[in-house]
């Protein structure tokens, strides 16, 4: 078991190493990878509640939105001298806001399971969405809010340099840090507890575990990760709008996680990379990306429930079997 | 206690007291309400009337985790374990919970030698050591049953409720389970209430036997008394050998 | 609220019902599928949309060929039928393999199908809204409290009630219905009794899909078919399902009427928050009465 975990972490390290190379890649691609890293953080967080704890939420984009809007909100010109441009401060604020929202929403949601859990989360993200649309004097309504270039560790950069060079490394660093933290979490006693909850919540209760409490903890952590992802993404996008947090965009993160394989740690990261890059590639040729990705999901559920990672590991298993 | 499912009186006015360290077997034909009784005691099913007391405290309709923390562990008639986890991890979850480490996010689980040792020891006791790394869902039925019971003991409970712990299990495995229960009873004064169909097991190990029929207690007494009872015999025809 | 005139209230109610019945027709099929097959079919919105698009195509061509209004009316049924055929094709291909899976997996697969359906419709019919209002205009409008009200809306009301009654008759008065209800309770027993459950499920599925298609078809003359309509429809139908009770057919009607009226009155009274109000209801119902108005109680094990 630990050999496999080492293998997985090795892949992650390799991946990150590869990512340093994009100095040599076209600027647009660096931008895309940076965006993907944000989604990867988001996906890692989502996998905690979905893959490890076994709860399917169709409203996780709520936290992405909370994180992104927190950043945009504190940059608003209306705040005058109270505007915050420090990315570090903005990240901390996003963690706080997403944690609070996750605590509030989660404490209601974790008392229910399966379809109800999924629908409740859907309800909350759509509530958030409709409030974003309607409270336009705060949130900018359908147009949303602009996001200005923040400072990184106190340094300012021109928008161009920021987007295509410096910020990329910043995001990469945070990605690595949050991944390491998540790695610790899933390999701890807590991680095992979550897996037990996923496998058999009834028995977990009879083993002395307070089901709701652990689910809430998992939910809040996954919300925080989502908020970090959204917050990091906001300066890249330059604009936040209500469309980023609907049940449909929540569906995107579910697709990413399934695509990559929800039973594993890096599955969601791979899923995020594949999903986004595939989408970009597909969009070069046709606007009908839903067709392809939707079909991919159907295929996954029917044929490869383990996703890309699941397929890879079973392939490896088969090869070792024939070898012996 | 009473539990009615519509017109069916699954448990109809049953009162039961168990002393510390006793091993009580509950027998009866299928449908006599044995599992419902266990479910009532452990809080899985809400009672229509009556109360459950554990060590003097009222635990009626408690949450599973509350009653678990108070020292009660139960196994299930249809094996109810963590199929996607290895046999080792199945026990580690329980040990982790017992030691209060379930919410620990900082330590690597693999570095916890105490839990690993406890789990490994228990696996050997139940003869499952060789299959420690096998996913529970892929184990043969007998092993899964053993694991179900082992999880109970991983909690170092004061009371165990075992619902047909030896059904579908080989004779040597039966002995293993029953020996574990009786030795725990002797050493740690663990109280055991067992639903059983295997009369050999019942008569060899029980301190007391309770015979149920149609949701009511038919007879109660020592194994000898029950064995000799005509009433019980006719109610459970074919089951007494 | 109290400052609304009687005529405004009447119109709001009529509009609410108009809207409610579209949700009713979608959630009817949704509840059938969930209650009996345990599948939450996200793609149901796609079948609704398909009904609208197919009917548009038929009506447009019928109109251009100079055919009379009565033929146009028949187009509605043909459109629904075509959707039923689509369902019949997809059932063995995809849905049959989902029956045994966990609810979450089938939810994901149907979500994938929804994406596919939306794009396929976009591919075939384009990205612009399409309307074929000839029937709607042809039937004309009447005066209610001095204001014009389209007569076609009454056709819709009649239709929805007709579907509800027919389904009720089907389920409670026919053999097919009895078997269906029995199959819902116990698959093993039913097949032991010689019921061909597989064929049964196909029939049931096709029926549920056809009803959704009918929903889209009947509304097409009054509005238009546009890309993304399936997504909008399905989310609100989920709310209806929850309010009415998952799996409850009676609940679909009651839930749909409630949501329809909330939306209609919401648009009149507090237009900023009508959407938020609907989702607030979803959350409130899920929290305080998850089984909805007509659903069954859960045991501790199901939590």
CA separation for the pair C125, C228 (Å, rounded): 12
- Give pLDDT, residue A106: 94
Contacts of B108 in chain A (CB under 8 A): 184, 187-188
Interface test with C, best of A199, A298, A299, A304 (most C CBs within 10 A): A298
- Give pLDDT, residue A316: 67
In angstroms, the separation between the Cα of residue A181 and the nearest Cα of chain B is 9
- The answer to whether B177 touches B166, Cβ cutoff 8 Å, is yes
Question: How many distinct structural domains can be found in chain A?
Answer: 1
More confident residue, B224 or B88: B88
Question: Could you give the angle at which helices C197-219 and C69-93 cross, rounded to 10 degrees?
Answer: 140
8 Å CB contact of A112 and C303: yes
Report which of A78, A134, A226, A59 is spatially closest to residue A234, judged by C-alpha positions: A226
- The answer to whether C240 touches C255, Cβ cutoff 8 Å, is yes
Is residue C80 situated within a structural domain? yes
Residue C68 has pLDDT above 60, yes or no: yes
Give this complex's ipTM. 0.89
Q: Least CA distance to A214: which residue of chain B? A: B103
B57-74 pLDDT, tens digit per residue, is 888 888 899 999 999 999
Helix then strand then coil, % of chain A, to nearest 5? 80, 5, 20
CA separation for the pair B223, B70 (Å, rounded): 30
8 Å CB contact of B46 and C300: yes
Which tokens is A86 given?
């420090």
Architecture of the domain defined by B2-71+157-235: 3-Layer(aba) Sandwich (3.40)
In angstroms, the separation between the Cα of residue C82 and the nearest Cα of chain B is 44
In angstroms, the separation between the Cα of residue A50 and the nearest Cα of chain B is 15
Contacts of B46 in chain C (CB under 8 A): 300
Percent share of chain A, pLDDT over 90: 46
Look-up: residue for tokens 């599973």?
A: B64
A135: confidence class by pLDDT, cuts 50, 70, 90: confident
- The answer to whether B69 contacts chain A (CB < 8 Å) is yes
Provide the whole-model pTM. 0.89
B241: confidence class by pLDDT, cuts 50, 70, 90: very low
Residue B113 has pLDDT above 80, yes or no: yes
C237: confidence class by pLDDT, cuts 50, 70, 90: very high
8 Å CB contact of B96 and A189: yes
Contacts of B81 in chain A (CB under 8 A): 200, 203
More confident residue, A1 or B25: B25
Contacts of A298 in chain C (CB under 8 A): 94, 109, 112-113, 116
- The answer to whether A276 touches A39, Cβ cutoff 8 Å, is yes
- The answer to whether C40 touches A115, Cβ cutoff 8 Å, is yes
Residue B212 has pLDDT above 60, yes or no: yes
8 Å CB contact of C286 and A296: no
- Give pLDDT, residue B240: 45
Comparing CB atoms, the residue among B92, B98, B133 nearest residue A192 is B92
A215-274 pLDDT, tens digit per residue, is 999 999 999 999 999 999 999 999 999 999 999 899 999 888 888 887 788 889 889 988
Chain B residues near any Cβ of chain C (below 8 Å)? 44-46
In angstroms, the separation between the Cα of residue C248 and the nearest Cα of chain B is 21
Comparing CB atoms, the residue among A1, A196, A209 nearest residue B65 is A209
Residue C35 has pLDDT above 80, yes or no: yes
Contacts of A211 in chain B (CB under 8 A): 65
Q: Least CA distance to A254: which residue of chain C? A: C108
Q: Least CA distance to B76: which residue of chain A? A: A203
- Give pLDDT, residue C203: 85
Contacts of B44 in chain C (CB under 8 A): 300-301
- Give pLDDT, residue A322: 56
8 Å CB contact of C104 and A296: no
Contacts of B61 in chain A (CB under 8 A): none
More confident residue, A105 or C131: A105
- Give pLDDT, residue A207: 94
8 Å CB contact of C108 and A254: yes
Percent share of chain C, pLDDT over 90: 31
Which tokens is A317 given?
């298993």
Residue A314 has pLDDT above 80, yes or no: no
C242-277 pLDDT, tens digit per residue, is 899 888 888 889 999 999 999 888 888 877 788 888
Q: What are phi and psi of A245, to 5 degrees?
A: -130, 85
A4: confidence class by pLDDT, cuts 50, 70, 90: low
Burial of B130 (0-12, 13-18, 19+ CB in 10 A): exposed
Interface test with B, best of A6, A184, A196, A222 (most B CBs within 10 A): A196
Interface test with B, best of A51, A52, A187, A188 (most B CBs within 10 A): A188
- Which range has the worst mean pLDDT, A306-315, B50-59, C128-137? A306-315
8 Å CB contact of A210 and B74: no
Chain A residues near any Cβ of chain B (below 8 Å)? 1-2, 184-185, 187-193, 195-196, 198-200, 202-211, 214, 217
Contacts of C276 in chain A (CB under 8 A): 127, 130-131, 134
More confident residue, B14 or A129: A129
Chain C residues near any Cβ of chain B (below 8 Å)? 299-301
- The answer to whether B25 touches B209, Cβ cutoff 8 Å, is yes
DSSP letters spanning C94-151: TGGGGTTS-HHHHHHHHHHHHHHHHHHHHHHH-SS-EE-THHHHHH-EEEETTEEEET
Residue C301 has pLDDT above 50, yes or no: no
Most confident of A34-48, B15-29, C56-70: A34-48
Residue B234 has pLDDT above 90, yes or no: no
- The answer to whether B144 contacts chain A (CB < 8 Å) is no
Domain span at residue C236 reads 6-302
Interface test with A, best of B83, B89, B93 (most A CBs within 10 A): B93
Comparing CB atoms, the residue among A188, A195, A209 nearest residue B105 is A188
Is residue C201 situated within a structural domain? yes
Mean pLDDT of A167-181: 91
Comparing CB atoms, the residue among B93, B94, B106 nearest residue A184 is B106
Which tokens is A221 given?
């952590």
Question: How many distinct structural domains can be found in chain C?
Answer: 1
Residue A52 has pLDDT above 80, yes or no: yes
Which tokens is A59 given?
């409203």
CA separation for the pair B3, B44 (Å, rounded): 12
A200: confidence class by pLDDT, cuts 50, 70, 90: very high
- Assign residue C156 the CATH number of its domain: 1.10.3470
- Assign residue A159 the CATH number of its domain: 1.10.3470
- The answer to whether B190 contacts chain A (CB < 8 Å) is no
Is residue C1 situated within a structural domain? no
C176-198 pLDDT, tens digit per residue, is 777 777 666 555 565 666 666 77
8 Å CB contact of A188 and B106: yes
Comparing CB atoms, the residue among A127, A258, A290 nearest residue C119 is A290
């Amino acid at each position: 078991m630990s050999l496999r975990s080492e293998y997985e972490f090795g892949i992650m390290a390799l991946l990150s190493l590869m990512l340093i190379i994009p100095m040599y890649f076209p600027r647009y691609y660096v931008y895309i990878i940076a965006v993907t890293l944000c989604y990867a953080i988001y996906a890692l967080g989502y996998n905690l509640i979905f893959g490890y704890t076994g709860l399917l939420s169709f409203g996780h984009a709520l936290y992405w939105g909370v994180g992104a809007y927190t950043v945009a909100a504190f940059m608003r010109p209306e705040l005058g001298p109270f505007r915050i441009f420090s990315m570090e401060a903005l990240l901390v604020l996003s963690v706080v806001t997403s944690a609070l929202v996750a605590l509030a929403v989660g404490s209601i949601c974790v008392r229910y399971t399966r379809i109800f859990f999924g629908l409740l989360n859907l309800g909350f993200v759509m509530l958030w969405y409709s409030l974003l649309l309607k409270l336009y004097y705060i949130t900018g309504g359908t147009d949303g809010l602009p996001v200005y270039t923040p400072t990184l560790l106190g340094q300012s950069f021109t928008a161009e340099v920021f987007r295509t060079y410096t910020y990329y490394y910043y995001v990469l660093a945070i990605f690595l840090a949050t991944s390491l933290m998540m790695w610790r979490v899933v390999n701890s006693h807590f991680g095992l507890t979550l897996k037990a909850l996923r496998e058999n919540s009834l028995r977990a209760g009879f083993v002395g575990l307070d089901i709701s409490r652990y689910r809430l903890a998992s939910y809040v952590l996954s919300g925080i990760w989502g908020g970090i992802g959204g917050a990091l993404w906001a300066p890249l996008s330059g604009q936040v709008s209500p469309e980023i947090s609907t049940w449909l965009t929540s569906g995107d993160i579910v697709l990413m996680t399934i695509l990559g394989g929800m039973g594993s740690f890096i599955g969601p990261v791979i899923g995020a990379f594949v999903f986004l890059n595939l989408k970009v590639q597909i969009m070069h040729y046709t606007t009908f990306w839903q067709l392809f990705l939707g079909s991919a999901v159907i295929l996954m559920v029917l044929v490869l429930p383990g996703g890309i990672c699941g397929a890879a590991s079973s392939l490896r298993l088969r090869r070792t079997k024939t070898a012996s | 206690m009473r539990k009615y499912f519509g017109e069916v009186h699954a448990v109809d006015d049953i009162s039961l007291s168990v002393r510390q360290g006793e091993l009580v077997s509950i027998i009866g034909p299928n449908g006599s309400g044995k599992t419902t009784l266990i479910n009532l005691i452990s809080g899985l099913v809400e009672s229509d009337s009556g109360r459950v007391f554990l060590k003097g405290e009222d635990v009626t309709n408690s949450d599973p985790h509350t009653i678990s923390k108070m020292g009660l562990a139960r196994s299930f008639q249809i094996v109810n374990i963590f199929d996607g986890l290895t046999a080792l991890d199945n026990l580690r979850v329980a040990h982790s919970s017992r030691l209060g480490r379930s919410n620990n996010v900082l330590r690597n689980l693999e570095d916890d030698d105490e839990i690993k040792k406890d789990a490994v020891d228990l696996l050997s006791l139940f003869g499952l050591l060789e299959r420690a790394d096998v996913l529970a869902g892929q184990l043969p039925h007998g092993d899964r049953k053993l694991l179900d019971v082992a999880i109970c003991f991983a909690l170092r409970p004061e009371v165990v409720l075992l619902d047909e712990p030896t059904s579908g299990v080989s004779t040597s495995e039966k002995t293993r389970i029953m020996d574990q229960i009786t030795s725990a009873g002797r050493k740690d004064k663990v109280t055991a209430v067992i639903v059983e169909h295997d009369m050999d097991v019942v008569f060899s190990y029980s301190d007391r036997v309770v015979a149920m029929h149609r949701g009511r207690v038919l007879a109660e007494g020592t194994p000898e008394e029950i064995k000799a009872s005509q009433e019980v015999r006719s109610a459970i025809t074919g089951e007494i050998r | 609220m109290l400052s609304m005139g009687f005529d405004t209230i009447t119109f709001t109610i009529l509009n609410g019902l108009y809207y409610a019945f579209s949700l009713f027709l979608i959630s009817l099929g949704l509840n059938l599928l969930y209650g009996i097959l345990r599948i939450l079919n996200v793609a149901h919105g796609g079948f609704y949309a398909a009904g609208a698009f197919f009917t548009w195509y038929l009506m447009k061509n019928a109109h251009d060929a100079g055919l009379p209004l009565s033929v146009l009316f028949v187009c509605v049924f043909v459109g629904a039928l075509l959707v039923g055929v689509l369902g019949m094709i997809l059932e063995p291909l995809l849905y049959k393999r989902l029956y045994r899976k966990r609810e979450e997996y089938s939810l994901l697969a149907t979500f994938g199908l929804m994406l596919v359906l939306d794009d396929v419709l976009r591919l075939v019919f384009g990205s612009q809204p399409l309307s074929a209002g000839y029937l709607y205009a042809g039937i004309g409008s009447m005066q209610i409290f001095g204001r014009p009200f389209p007569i076609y809306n009454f056709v819709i009301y009649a239709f929805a009630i007709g579907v509800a009654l027919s389904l009720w008759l089907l389920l409670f008065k026919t053999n097919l219905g009895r078997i269906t209800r029995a199959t819902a309770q116990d698959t093993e027993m039913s097949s032991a009794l010689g019921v061909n459950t597989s064929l049964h499920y196909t029939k049931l599925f096709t029926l549920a899909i056809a009803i959704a298609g009918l929903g889209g078809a009947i509304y097409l003359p009054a509005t238009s078919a546009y890309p993304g309509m399936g997504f909008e429809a399905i989310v609100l139908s989920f709310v209806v399902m929850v309010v009415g009770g998952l799996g409850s057919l009676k609940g679909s009607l009651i839930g749909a009427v409630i949501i329809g009226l909330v939306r209609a009155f919401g648009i009149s009274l507090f237009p900023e928050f009508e959407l938020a109000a609907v989702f607030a209801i979803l959350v409130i119902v899920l929290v305080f009465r998850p089984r909805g108005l007509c659903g069954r109680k859960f045991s501790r094990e199901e939590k």
